[in-house]
Amino acid sequence: MLIEIPHLRDKVHIFKDRNEAGKRLSEMLDSFAHTSAIVLALPVGGVPVAAAIAEKLNLPIDVAVVSKITLPWTTEAGFGAVAFDGTVRLNEQMLPSLGLSDEQVQQGIKLTSEKVAGRVSKLRKDKQMPDLSGKTAILVDDGIASGITMQTAVEAVAKLNADRIIIAVPTAHRESLTELLSMAEAIYCANVRSGFSFAVADAYKNWYDVDESEAAQILQRFNRV
């Protein structure tokens, strides 16, 4: 089930920043307020969005560390992702067209696994992920482009026995939501966009790369680290 805001469809520069985007999502997620649901942010860009949601809905916040496996020649695009528990998901449709050797693929996985381990250490202090049995997990990022990172997050979080998995993002490409709809109970996305060209940043007026220090400071406010 996809829940969107119809009048925001295919529009750009919708949100002032990630904080405002999170507040808009919290209005869509108001039925989860004051429940046993837990907000799981995908760092680092998803942390400010998730924090706004958790604050508005009075929910606990944690992080599900997942990172895309970037291409050797650019960090802007990836061909897969690695999650906090070692789950690896590759974009099998994309790989044949990239011309990557098996060695390059494995090197990408290795480097990304090391990056994920570092973020787990910094943002979670190496604490174990919570047992989600009987709980609703709300996975939050600042947007979905290809969808591979969120797919990997859902796959990893499902292993934590979550009763329900909900995806909440300010913006996403419509095609990327198709496979995710079969993996989660519902997707809440304020700004669904179509078209050949898509960038998460285009949904925001004030866009910048969130760093790990800022994410850690935000999480500290919720006593999660």
pTM of the model: 0.90
Q: What residue ranges define each of the domains in the chain, with the CATH number in brackets?
A: 2-68+123-221 (3.40.50.2020)
For the chain, which ranges sit under pLDDT 50?
Answer: 224-225
In terms of Cα–Cα distance, which of 173, 165, 180, 217 is closest to 47? 217
pLDDT for res 161: 87
Residues 109-151 pLDDT 10s:
898 999 999 999 889 887 888 889 889 999 999 999 989 999 9
Which phi-psi region, left, alpha or beta, contains residue 223 (left: φ > 0; alpha: ψ -120 to 50)? Answer: left
- The contacts of residue 204 (CB under 8 Å, 6+ apart) are 13, 14, 15, 16, 17, 18, 21
d(CA 195, CA 215): 31
d(CA 148, CA 152): 6
pLDDT for res 224: 47
